[in-house]
Amino acid sequence: MGDRIVMDFAFSARAQNFIDRLRAFMDEHVLPAEAEYYGTLTTGARPWNVPPVMRELKEKAKAQGLWNLFMPEPEYGPGLSNVDYAPLAEITGRVPFAPEIFNCNAPDTGNMEVLAKYGSSQQKERWLKPLLDGSIRSAFCMTEPDVASSDATNMEATAIVKGDRVLINGRKWWSTGIGHPDCRVLIFMGLTDPDAPRHARHSMVLVPVDTQGVEIGRMLPVFGTLDEPYGHGEVSFTDVEVPLENIIVGPGKGFEIAQGRLGPGRIHHCMRAIGSAERALEMLCRRALTRTAFGKPLASLGGNADIIANARIAIEQARLLTLKAAWLMDTVGVKGAKSEISQIKVVAPSMAQSVVDAAIQIHGAAGVCDDYGLTSLFAHARTLRIADGPDEVHRSLIARLELKAQAAAAGIGTERGQAQ
């Protein structure tokens, strides 16, 4: 009967232990600190500060071992599987600034993973160590204003190898984290060899933020907010030079690394999106229970119960799909989970956007101002439908894989199976 334990929807004892401790930490320390955090955050133009309470919370989290939970390599963190990390990421997704408290925030997580997996020992020593420690922050410079980033091979900024140096030129934007006062390094992705095969043309290069020629431009507002103290910036690179060893793995390896980087990153976003949807549903229900119109609580009026039921159903389904994708990543790797990763990337942000939109509606005018944080949750969910590949690109990939599988099962010729 031993086989009965598979197809099990319970978390492992180890994950459950982390869940309990993380929830307690959120309840005890994070939720009560929300007002203070936002109250001491500099907004508007830079320079921004990091609210003092953030540093305190980080110390506490580190002391409790709630640190680098995302990091799969046991050398650098608790070494949790994706399945075990999923509920933890979800819990931190309830509060926009919470992931940083546990050193689990994008884009630092992705950058740390790249360095842990592909970095030279020198690169690890110089950049991974302080990132894991939380003492510095980093940015990732990939998206460009002048070309459609949905097709990453469009990238035009250049990283040309000249002897033992790399010469970098071009304009990037949506470089998240570039505005952080502690941001010290960025990973730049650019064209190295236009004549190489399509996915071997680009390189990833580590660039210290204070290198000559790196210019940080304006910070981009997202539905009116700047996401301080991280920010999403424009960065221009003019004849920037770094040593050849700053290239990760080697010239032309950019896409290979990107594939490895984006898989976990996408799923982390989805886990957190589910957490934010749960929080929105919680707010929706509380409002529905306590606000009265026409002599009844809103929960009893019209289609509001349907909205609540549909939200619950949508969250459950998105969570299960996220967990399955995580499980596939754990068991067969990112490549084998390609369709499922794209599936959750399509599902989770849209689902979160809908649930938050419903929560906004039931809060009435209070919903569209920032009093309940709903517009921030909305802006974040909406942005996720574009970041790390727009829905359209993911749907196209899912369909291609589906058609290929169906063509194979039906014995339909390959050239037709490759339609699309």
265-324 positions binding its own copies, by CB under 8 A: 281-282, 285-286, 288-294, 296-306, 308-310, 312-313, 316-318, 320-321, 323-324
Residue nearer to its own copies on the CB measure, 61 or 381: 381
Question: Which residues, listed in sequence order, are joined to residue 189 by a DSSP beta bridge?
Answer: 204
Contact between residue 145 and residue 196 where contact means Cβ atoms under 8 Å apart: no
Q: What CA–CA distance (Å, rounded) separates 300 from 304?
A: 7
Q: How many CB atoms lie within 10 A of CB 28?
A: 11
Residue nearer to its own copies on the CB measure, 68 or 82: 82
Q: How many CB atoms lie within 10 A of CB 65?
A: 12
Q: What CA–CA distance (Å, rounded) separates 276 from 298?
A: 22
417 interacts with its own copies by CB under 8 A: yes
Residue nearer to its own copies on the CB measure, 103 or 322: 322
Residue nearer to its own copies on the CB measure, 163 or 302: 302
Residue nearer to its own copies on the CB measure, 247 or 398: 398
Residues 9 to 68 in contact with its own copies, rule: CB under 8 A: 9-15, 44
Q: What CA–CA distance (Å, rounded) separates 297 from 288?
A: 6
Cis ω on the peptide bond leading into residue 349 (within 30° of 0)?
Answer: no
Q: Which residues contact 108 (CB under 8 A, 6 or more apart)?
A: 131, 137, 138, 177
Token digits for 354? 């809908």
Residues 318 to 357 in contact with its own copies, rule: CB under 8 A: 318, 320-321, 323-324, 327-328, 339-340, 343, 346-347, 357
Contact between residue 263 and residue 334 where contact means Cβ atoms under 8 Å apart: yes
Task: Provide the minimum distance between the beta carbon of 156 and its own copies in the complex, in angstroms, as a whole number.
Answer: 12
Print the binding letters for residues 186-225 with its own copies: x by CB under 8 A, - otherwise: ----------------------------------xxxxxx
> What DSSP state is assigned to residue 67?
S
Size of the site for its own copies (CB under 8 A): 113
Residue nearer to its own copies on the CB measure, 82 or 123: 82
Contact between residue 368 and residue 375 where contact means Cβ atoms under 8 Å apart: yes
Residue nearer to its own copies on the CB measure, 111 or 176: 176
Q: What CA–CA distance (Å, rounded) separates 262 from 153?
A: 15
Task: Provide the minimum distance between the beta carbon of 61 and its own copies in the complex, in angstroms, as a whole number.
Answer: 23
81 interacts with its own copies by CB under 8 A: yes
Residues 116 to 175 in contact with its own copies, rule: CB under 8 A: 143, 145, 147-151, 154, 173-174
- CA 290 remoteness from chain centre: 34
Task: Provide the minimum distance between the beta carbon of 162 and its own copies in the complex, in angstroms, as a whole number.
Answer: 30
Task: Provide the minimum distance between the beta carbon of 70 and its own copies in the complex, in angstroms, as a whole number.
Answer: 17
